[in-house]
Amino acid sequence: MASNLKLAEKQNFTLNMHFKRNIGFVLFTLFSFVSFASHDSVSHETAAVEAHSTENSHEQNHEQKFDAGEMIIHHITDAHEIHFFTLNEGTPAEKHFSIYLPVIIKDENGFHFFSASHFYHNKKNAEVNGKHVHYYEHDGFILSGEKIYKAEGEEKVTFNEKGEVANASVLDLSPTKSVVGLFITALILILLFGAAARKYRKNPNAAPSGVQGLLETLVIFIRDEVVIPSIGHKHASRFMPFCLTTFFFIWIANILGMIPFIGGFNIMGTLGVTIVLATIVFIMTTINGKPYYWTHILWPHGVPLPIKFILVPIEIIGIFMKPLVLMIRLTANMTAGHIIFLALTSLVFIFGQSSAVAGYGVGVGSLAFMIFMYFIELLVAFLQAYVFTLLAASYFGSALEEPHH
Amino acid sequence: MLSAGLGTILWTSIAFLIVLGLLKKMAWKPILKSLKDREDFISDSLKSAENANAQLSQLKADNEKLLAEARVEREKMLKEAKEIGEDIVAKARKAAIEEEQRIMNKAKQEIENEKTAAIAELKVQVVSLSIKMAETVLKKEFENKDMQMKLVEENLKSASLN
């Protein structure tokens, strides 16, 4: 636990470091090694992928300087588009290959629906205190840092001294990239387990075959190594569906985030996603709390009265802290993994800027390290799903604990 | 960047709860049930195999016991038969000896009786023959007076009274 928290802290620190830099506009996908190599390849437009060129004169930066911080933040942040890759970057023929997601916002005039392509096709640049910032504008709304604000007045957009948009924000109910990733995960889960369940129904006593074998191993693992030891035989079956769903949901979503060229999903690194999982864990723990659990928190036995005054507030904070930590751990771990990949990729570009030879030289080392990290991240993808499920199960277990005499 | 958009929360809740509900109904329940059933089936099978094994070994032990008992029984029966046989032979021998004895005794008796009778007969015969002879002799002797006298004298001589 302690080491995990430490890790999370470290990751947050890394995040903050990257926050501070904010110039330039360079787009490429999570694993853009190949697109880097084939920079001048001919673009194909497909039905699913809409391409648009940003030839606007005000579009490009005055100097093409690669900013790793900006790039990394851009890639780990949830977005209103699923961006695959950019062709002819930095030239007038620049093309972005993206799926633009629907925008659903609500202001005092009611709901507004439109495609996010309107935003991304209307990029504006501004200078605030000598700092270069960009934002998108459409139909009285401003998109900046993937947040939507209401355009106001003649200027439409106002900035604070940090260069952040200071307009009033609107209620954004858009299905973002992470939501789409979530729905893909949901679909994969339903198809995968629907197929497996059919096999079980058809042939209940046959030896498992194919993907059923892998899933069965994991299902049994979750049941016998996670849920039953944490919750006990008596209540385990009640929590099995949630624990299994959570585990596979997180795991598949994490795996999805590791597949290159599908937009670099960072589903479990999105706070909006993990907060839901943590909230469900919190609600389930709270409503399942037995009297023993509550007395343990509110009036612990065998503790001197003065200690109780210290202990009880800590325990009460703990009720909320536990799911909070669950949420932060998952988000930070998955985001950290993505940041490592992006940082390693950035290294190539940073060196590539000084000389092509240095870029390729560093690229070899970076690539080797990325391959190594890939295996680590595959493990982490599983591990974080396991840890989340294990801790959730142990919270349920503690809520259901019976006094043992 | 690390802000939780309400839209994401909303959509995530919907997606997660739908998946939870769907999977619970169509996947987890049947999968967990068949896993449980299969495990039960396997453990039952193992248990029954164990039982069968135990029964088999019990049967084997019973058989052996039965066999041993049968062997003992056979032994006993053989022994008894032998004893009975010997007894019968001994009895038969004894009876035979007794019978032989009896027959011998009877034969001896009969022989004795026959002998006695024969002796008696012989005696009678001898006496009657003697008498006849004596009669004949006497008849012849007593035709002559002298002869009679002579005989008396001779008898008297031999029957001297000393």
Q: What is the pLDDT of residues B93-117, one digit of tens each?
A: 999 899 889 998 998 888 989 889 9
Q: B5 to chain A, minimum CA–CA distance in Å?
A: 6
- Residue in chain B lying closest to A173 (CA): B7
What gap in Å lies between CA A53 and CA A94, rounded to an integer?
5
User: Does residue B162 belong to the interface with chain A, where contact is any CB pair within 8 Å?
Assistant: no
Res B56: pLDDT: 93
Confidence band, pLDDT 50/70/90 cuts, at residue B162: low
Res A35: pLDDT: 31
Displacement of CA A231 from its chain's centroid (Å): 29
Q: A113 to chain B, minimum CA–CA distance in Å?
A: 13
User: Does residue B18 belong to the interface with chain A, where contact is any CB pair within 8 Å?
Assistant: yes
Residue in B6, B15, B37 nearest the CB of A171: B6
Res A64: pLDDT: 56
**Considering only CA atoms, which of A340, A401, A346 is closest in space to residue A376?**
A340
User: Does residue B22 belong to the interface with chain A, where contact is any CB pair within 8 Å?
Assistant: yes
Beta carbons of A276 and B20 less than 8 Å apart:
no
What gap in Å lies between CA B69 and CA B66, rounded to an integer?
5
Confidence band, pLDDT 50/70/90 cuts, at residue B57: very high
Beta carbons of B15 and A186 less than 8 Å apart:
yes
Beta carbons of A200 and B15 less than 8 Å apart:
no
Res A274: pLDDT: 93
Cα-Cα-Cα-Cα dihedral sign, residues A322, A324, A330, A335: negative
User: Does residue B46 belong to the interface with chain A, where contact is any CB pair within 8 Å?
Assistant: no
What's A63's DSSP letter? S
State the DSSP string of A84-126: EEEESTTSTT-EEEEEEPEEEEEETTEEEEEETHHHHTSEEEE
Greater pLDDT, A7 or B53: B53
**Which residues of chain A are within 8 Å of residue B33 when distances are taken between CB atoms?**
200
Res B160: pLDDT: 67
Q: Work out the angle at residue A278's Cα, subtended by the Cα atoms of residues A296 and A378, and round it to the nearest 5 degrees.
A: 120
Beta carbons of A179 and B34 less than 8 Å apart:
no
Res A11: pLDDT: 41
**Structure tokens given for A391:** 């801790």
Beta carbons of B7 and A245 less than 8 Å apart:
no
Beta carbons of A276 and B19 less than 8 Å apart:
no
Res A6: pLDDT: 46
Per-10-residue mean pLDDT of chain A, 405 residues long, equals 44 38 30 31 34 38 67 86 83 84 88 89 82 84 86 80 81 89 93 88 79 88 93 91 94 92 88 93 93 87 86 92 94 92 89 86 90 93 95 93 75
pTM, two decimal places? 0.71
Question: What number is the ipTM of this complex?
Answer: 0.76
Beta carbons of B35 and A220 less than 8 Å apart:
yes
Beta carbons of A271 and B11 less than 8 Å apart:
no
Beta carbons of A331 and B2 less than 8 Å apart:
yes
- Residue in chain B lying closest to A74 (CA): B1
**Considering only CA atoms, which of A179, A395, A239 is closest in space to residue B24?**
A239
